[in-house]
Amino acid sequence: MGRFADSLRADGLGAIAEIKRRSPSAGDLRPDADPARIAPAYAAAGAAAISVLVDERFAGTWDDLRAARAVTDAPLLAKGFFSTPDDLRTAKEAGADAVLVLLRDLTDSEVTALMADAADRGLDTLVEAHDAEELERGIALGAPVLGVNARDLSTFAIDRAAQLALLARIPADRVVVAESGIHSRAQGAAAELAGADAILVGSALMRAPDPSAKLSELLARPLVKVCGLTREEDVAVAAEAGADLLGFVLEPTSPRAAGAVLPVPDETLAVAVWVGAAGDSDADLDQVHTVEEGKVRGREATLYRGDDAVARVLDLPWGEDDPAHWQRAAGVEGRLVLAGRLGPDNVAAAIAAVHPWAVDASSSLETAPGIKDHARVRAYVEAARA
């Protein structure tokens, strides 16, 4: 694999930031998009790679790729409907590090030939699937970098749930890319937890007033969780403030017990909080705390996506303090959700000390158990996302 694939394999969730002026589904997005200005801004904002549409249906040309190559050393993906060695030769000469290969449009023998030709030219291939059949073909053909597009190219409908299910089926030795339909940090995190090494984002960036600032926002960590929600009005305020994860305690002995997981906006993820074992709910994720005798919960918990453990949660002991809490948390490897009396006044310091994947607050944001103080919720999210 070349530097495109290597860049996507780096630690954490990467992004392929796309430059396109229009799309067949949405029409004009940014007709005046200038690759010579946008490409270096994407690279500075942390893009693992940059995708450049070179097809006229997206108002793109090969000159757009050449313009991006002239101003950045970031890996470049040439994106179009490629089917011949001539396409790959042009991509290489224009400065591409990788090319898109659409399983939908090609036979197995054509895909195999294109991957081999690309490798001979020093190009990586992003082999894209749209459904389970295409994905199985890509896996069987040995594609090193596999993308799953949430958009149906015939109807243009987005199905993120189907995409997440397919991402989870890709072998761990492949580079995995979630494509299309990602507009928020939580949606990117959902792809990450399903196994994606990177997300490919185009329309959300092109529609933003500042595409590179939007890219930075999508990649920023930690995620922000507001937990102990029991009322729809509190869910709305937390989401409006910018929380990514919304938590609902389904342990009946908790003073913040919710009767059920309430509906959450599409831009966020719902987390069901349990003690001992997870039950049934409509949540996107389950947070399962250990059992501790005489306590509502233990301080340790695991975040699950289905049956897969995807992060560790470290809280303070129930009703107790621990002066070494942040120090202990800073030593945890992998994804860490930090909890324990976090609020507007201390969350920034906690982030600086621990560098967690997510932060979690509940009781410090309340006027009474399960009733949120809206001003404190807003201040906490703002401080955590600063």
- Residues 209 and 227 occupy one common structural domain: no
Q: State the pLDDT at residue 23.
A: 85
Reduced to 3 states (helix: H, G, I; strand: E, B; else coil), residue 164 is helix
Consecutive H or E run containing 28: strand 27-28
Beta pairing, strands 198-201 & 14-19: parallel
Give the confidence band of 226 by pLDDT, cuts at 50, 70, 90.
very high
* DSSP run (H or E) holding 203: helix 203-207
Residues of 148-183 as b/e, b for ≥16 C-beta within 10 angstroms?
bbbbeeeeeebbbeebbebbbebeeebbbbbbbbbb
184 shares a domain with 121 = yes
Kindly report, residue by residue over 150-194, the tens digit of the pLDDT: 987 778 889 999 999 999 999 999 999 999 989 999 999 999 999
- pLDDT, one tens digit per residue, over 38-73 is 999 999 999 999 999 999 888 899 999 999 999 999
CATH, residue 64: 3.20.20.70
Task: Say if residue 209 is in the same domain as residue 306.
Answer: no
Residues 206 and 272 in one domain: no
205 and 227 in a single domain? The answer is no
- Both 64 and 130 in a single domain? yes
Question: Total structural domains in the chain?
Answer: 2
Whether 281 and 215 share a structural domain = no
Q: Are strands 27-28 and 22-23 parallel, antiparallel or unpaired?
A: antiparallel
Can you give the residue range of the structural domain that contains 132?
A: 3-219
Give the separation between CA 151 and CA 160, rounded to whole angstroms: 8
Distances (CA, A) of 250 to 254, 257, 276, 371: 8, 6, 11, 16
Taking the CA atoms of 319, 325, 326 and 328 in sequence, report the sign of the dihedral they define: negative
- Do 71 and 126 lie in one domain? The reply is yes
> Is there a single domain that holds both residue 295 and residue 204?
no
Whether 207 and 253 share a structural domain: no
184, 200, 219 - which closes a domain: 219
CA–CA–CA angle 56, 62, 66 (5° rounding): 145
Tell whether 228 and 129 lie within a shared domain: no
Q: What is the pTM of this model?
A: 0.95
For residue 209, whether the previous peptide bond is cis, meaning omega lies within 30 degrees of 0, is: no
Among the candidates 191, 219, 247, a domain finishes at: 219
- In this structure, the number of other CB atoms found within 10 A of the CB of residue 307 comes to 7
What is the pLDDT averaged over residues 27-44? 95
Specify whether 150 is located in the same domain as 86: yes
**Rounded to the nearest 5 degrees, what angle is found at the Cα of 285, between the Cα atoms of 281 and 289?**
90
In angstroms, how far is CA 379 from the centroid of its own chain? 24
**Among candidate residues 219, 234, 260, the one where a domain is terminated:** 219
CA distance 177 to 204: 16
pLDDT at position 311 over 90: yes
